[in-house]
Amino acid sequence: MKFSLSWLKQYLETDASLEDIALKLNAIGLEVEGIEDPAAKLAGFRVAKVLTADKHPQADKLQVLTVDTGEGVLQVVCGAPNARAGLVGVLGLPGATVPANGMVLKVAAVRGVESNGMMCSTRELELGEDHDGIIELPQDAPVGTPFADYHGADPVIEVAITPNRPDCMGVYGIARDLAAAGLGTLKPIEVLDIAGSFPCPVEVRTDDAEGCPAFYGRVIKGVKNSPSPQWLQKRLKAAGQRPISALVDATNYIMLAYGRPAHAYDLAKLNGAVVARRARDGETVVALNEKTYTLDAEMTVIADDSGVHDIAGIMGGEHSGCGDETTDVLLEIAYFDPERIARTGRKLNLTSDARSRFERGIDPNFLDTGLDHLTQLIQTLCGGEASQTVRSGAAPATPKIVHFDPALTEKLGGVRIEEAEQQRILESLGFSVVAEQANFDKAWAVTVPGWRPDVDGAPDIVEEVVRIHGLDKVTSVALPRADGVARPTATPTQALERRVRRAAAARGLHEAVTWSFLPSAEAGAFADGANGNGGALWSLANPISEDMKVMRPSLLPGLLMAAKRNLDRGASSLRLFELGRRYLRGEGGASDERLALGFVLAGEKVSRGWATGKAATFDAYDAKAEVTALLAEAGAPVEKLQVMGEAGSQFHPGQSATLRLGPKNVLARFGMLHPTVARQFDIEGPVAMAEIYLDAIPGKKGAATFARTRYAPPALQAVTRDYAFLVPAELAAGDLVRMVAGADKANIVSARLFDDFRGAGVPEGQKSLALEVTLQPLEKSYKEEDLKAISDKVTAAAAKLGAVLRG
């Protein structure tokens, strides 16, 4: 929300400086995002008079001017065609910075003639688009006066308005807050009560009482549309609005001043009654932004007998807009359901100033007053004769009453404020306070004004009192702490997240942070994960947009979308990971959040080169290596993991697998992206990916997780033995490794595969697997009979899988 200081002071009687106003706005929760001070931008520019203008001796299109600055005469070289003796304009002195391009003026020679500064055009000072000549001021303009003082330096303040403060979407609401905070006196809104001199010739009604409970209208005949006066244009420009015409600017002015959107229709372009109704499925309208929108029956529109003219509460139609030829107008002011406006805007992906106000909730009691002020402004700017007001329906005007105990302010807000001061603050903000006796405790009945739909209960009242009193007056109190060394504050889950995140980064993966919301199609593609939710998705009732309406069931679609964006921008190799929550449906429809880590490997694993040859891409084994390393860092018993299928329909069926502890507990799934899913995400080339379910890692007995403990090396040296087995060709090597490792758990600490041979000497239908087995003596060194006993256990265990020790 942007507004000029003079506009604010139209409603707030105050002598406070710009700095004091900015500080107070921040103190009461209206964060100042920026201040544009024209006086600072125009520093170094003065009103100056050209005394003489002679031809430049070395250039036909340049003149050498002598300029009176009020403090002396300077020589300036100028190329403007309108430069002449007697002209009063604006001179930029040496040292001044030109606003349009940031150039710092200095004394310089132009074609051999010294020039002290520059005579300026309106474009150079960012006061307009004219660049054909230098600024010409009236002859009585005071020479030597700083141009900022002459032109009128009106600072512009920009504040961030949170979604719960619709009252501050107008300058008057901001003035009200500042007055309540003691920074001046709020000027009351004038009650006009324009009766109108003739009956309204147009039927105005609402046929959608849910979407548009109240719809008011009035006709003004005989208007003359023209450009707005300068004071109005300056205020609109300060607020970031482009002046269009007096009729359109008047509606925008009322919206920005009071937070009350309205609309003006060219009466000659309307046909029959003007009605607020539900749109029909497939109905279209060309909006003022020149785009065509297709509507559905869940949207409210303003229409006549010819069709739709307005997407209600969001944007008017191009057909019925006011132009230079407009002579009669229909003014519309209405109350629209905030949720309906928000849903319509998201469906159409259409934002506007009107939508941002209606979906927050506007004052339902400001219909007549707003219409009267709009009528008066249009008659002042364009003339015309107003009709009587036509009213259809009624806005929800039942006052909200909150029962409030003033003692709650100290209890919840942490600051003691006298009851009289609390009452003053509330009444300054527009609340009415009546003392009541309830349950033998002193309490107030606080009536909430219509412009504060965000206030629902007593804690909201406390917030209003405390922020106006001053958040800086709330004493900081340290949290209680036990004596001695502070205990760790991180939970086991937080410690796990930190450890795994560092490990992923150390392995060369780059962390990505993606949205927790996804488009429906992308989320649906990952709804049936191997450790998933049966395909049920969480769809939000109030999403940010239609493209972000489903909670992610997996981290992989967000990472794939991030990979797509990076690949499209020329990235040759991607190693992205994300650690976060998946959102599933639990029993009974309850939310089920699960901690996971996902990663995507795309592009080149190894670039082409004289030593490496052709470029190599990532494969499923790269994904498995990363998964195994990260699971080990998370404390999972990787030596016990089983490689099984069923990674999910998103993975290539022949190049993917899951890692499990037992047949049901899936710790991770990994492999290559399925070509069909790759096409859905518009990704070219092979993509390896994986998802680790950190919440599925079981805990040790007596511990929350498989967290690593401090390593203490054994006293005796380990012994290694190699075994080569002939096994069936279809036997998974991992199954043999696990079987051998479990043959003697007291002595065997690890087993790993180091050779897989198929060829000469190996019977057809078999393969040779060689394993290195590490034995760790505990109390005494092994004797030969000990090693033979362990070897017998190893060969016996391998034989259960059909493995035979090679001779």
pLDDT single digits (tens) 452-498: 999 999 999 999 999 999 888 888 888 887 788 777 788 888 999 99
Contact at 8 Å (CB) between 364 and 285? Answer: no
CB atoms within 10 A of CB 618: 24
Q: For residue 228, what are the contacts with CB-CB under 8 A and spacing of at least 6?
A: 236, 243, 245, 246, 249, 250, 381
Q: Which of 238, 188, 260, 166 is nearest to 5 (CA)?
A: 238
Confirm whether residue 604 is marked as ligand binding. no
Burial 650-675 (b: 16+ CB within 10 A, else e): bbbeebbbbbbbeeeebbbbbbbbbe
The kind and range of the H/E element at 771 are strand 766-775
pLDDT band at 408; cut points 50, 70, 90 = very high
Summarised one tens digit per residue, pLDDT across range 413-430 is 989 999 999 999 999 999
Please state, for a pLDDT cut of 90, what percent of the chain lies above it.
73
Query: C-alpha angle 164/168/171, rounded to 5°?
Result: 170
pLDDT band at 548; cut points 50, 70, 90 = confident
- What is the rounded average pLDDT of the residues 172-200? 93
152 or 477: which leads in pLDDT: 477
Burial 757-778 (b: 16+ CB within 10 A, else e): eeeeeeeeebbbbebebebebe
Angle at which helices 18-27 and 171-180 cross, to 10°: 80
What Cα–Cα distance (Å) separates residue 483 from each residue in 226, 486, 487, 493? 76, 8, 10, 26
Pair of tokens at residue 495: 């410690």
Statement: residue 711 has pLDDT above 90:
no
- What is the rounded average pLDDT of the residues 513-517? 93
Please state, for a pLDDT cut of 70, what percent of the chain lies above it.
96
pLDDT for position 476 = 85
Q: Distance (Å, rounded) from C-alpha 781 to C-alpha 167?
A: 83
pLDDT for position 30 = 93
pLDDT band at 114; cut points 50, 70, 90 = very high
Alpha helices in 363-479 (DSSP H): 367-382, 408-413, 419-428, 458-469
pLDDT for position 474 = 87
Strand pairing class (642-644; 651-661): antiparallel
Give pairs for 628-632: CB < 8 Å, separation 24+. Answer: 628/659, 629/503, 629/507, 630/500, 630/503, 630/504, 630/507, 630/597, 630/692, 631/659, 631/667, 631/668, 631/692, 631/697
pLDDT for position 437 = 63
Collapsing DSSP states into helix, strand and coil, what is residue 555? coil
Contact at 8 Å (CB) between 368 and 186? Answer: no
Statement: residue 368 has pLDDT above 50:
yes
Q: Distance (Å, rounded) from C-alpha 567 to C-alpha 575?
A: 12
Statement: residue 546 has pLDDT above 70:
yes
Alpha carbon 194 to chain centroid, angstroms: 43
- What is the rounded average pLDDT of the residues 790-798? 94
Contact at 8 Å (CB) between 186 and 370? Answer: no
Q: For the chain, list the domains and their CATH numbers.
A: 2-37+155-186 (3.30.56.10), 40-151 (2.40.50.140), 204-393 (3.50.40.10), 402-472 (3.30.56.10), 492-696 (3.30.930.10), 719-805 (3.30.70.380)
Summarised one tens digit per residue, pLDDT across range 297-319 is 999 999 999 999 999 999 998 88
Lowest mean pLDDT: which of 15-24, 144-153, 292-301, 617-626?
144-153
Q: What is the pTM of this model?
A: 0.69
Q: Distance (Å, rounded) from C-alpha 526 to C-alpha 278?
A: 36
Q: Distance (Å, rounded) from C-alpha 474 to C-alpha 658?
A: 55
Confirm whether residue 454 is marked as ligand binding. yes
Statement: residue 335 has pLDDT above 50:
yes
Contact at 8 Å (CB) between 259 and 243? Answer: no
The kind and range of the H/E element at 52 are strand 45-55
Statement: residue 712 has pLDDT above 80:
no
What Cα–Cα distance (Å) separates residue 782 from each residue in 27, 715, 745, 786, 800? 76, 13, 15, 6, 26
CA atoms within 13 A on the CB side of 43: 8
pLDDT for position 708 = 53
Q: Distance (Å, rounded) from C-alpha 251 to C-alpha 235?
A: 13
Looking at every residue in the chain, the average pLDDT score rounds to: 90
pLDDT for position 700 = 62
> Locate tokens 């400001």: which residue?
366
Summarised one tens digit per residue, pLDDT across range 719-731 is 999 999 999 999 9
Q: Is 4 exposed, middle or buried (0-12, 13-18, 19+ CB in 10 A)?
A: buried
Q: Distance (Å, rounded) from C-alpha 574 to C-alpha 630?
A: 18
Q: Which of 47, 150, 70, 90 is nearest to 78 (CA)?
A: 90
Pair of tokens at residue 611: 């030593």
Summarised one tens digit per residue, pLDDT across range 606-642 is 888 888 788 899 999 999 999 999 999 998 988 888 8
